[in-house]
Amino acid sequence: MLTRAARVIAALIIVVAVGAGAALAADPPEVPLLLQQNQFQPAEVKVKAGAPFVLVVTNKDAKAAEFESKELRTEKVVPAGQTVKIRIRALKPGTYPFFNDFNKETTGRIAAE
């Protein structure tokens, strides 16, 4: 039979172990994407298929932009001179187009390999 102190210590160890695992799972890799002079740079972002990631979009233009992808079901306004982070779920292999909804000629794509 465990003493009360032993049960408390065991519970703390479990909480710390679960918390550490959750912290590791909560930190997907960050992938930079720059919007400058009405162009996404790079125009094609390569990511690992089957793994979630965070797209870090920096808008260097003087006007706000809206990152949008119908295939990814994602849209996010990126104010002028600001950076936003967009969490993207694990993708199947393939290409996923995106665009600036405020200037639809500004396009790019994500290639999940």
- Structural domain includes residue 8: no
Say if 63 falls within a structural domain: yes
What are the angstrom distances between the C-alpha of 18 and each of 9, 14, 15, 22, 64?
14, 6, 5, 6, 40
Residue 24 is assigned to a structural domain of this protein: no
Q: Is residue 72 part of a domain?
A: yes
H or E stretch covering 11: helix 4-25
- Type of residue numbered 100: N
Domain range for residue 101?
30-112
Is 81 among the domain residues? yes
pLDDT 10s digits, 8-54: 576 667 756 665 555 556 699 999 999 999 999 999 999 999 999 99
Predicted TM-score (pTM) of this structure: 0.75
Whether residue 75 is contained in a domain is answered as yes
Token digits for 100?
């600036």
In a domain, 5, yes or no: no
Overall number of domains in the chain: 1
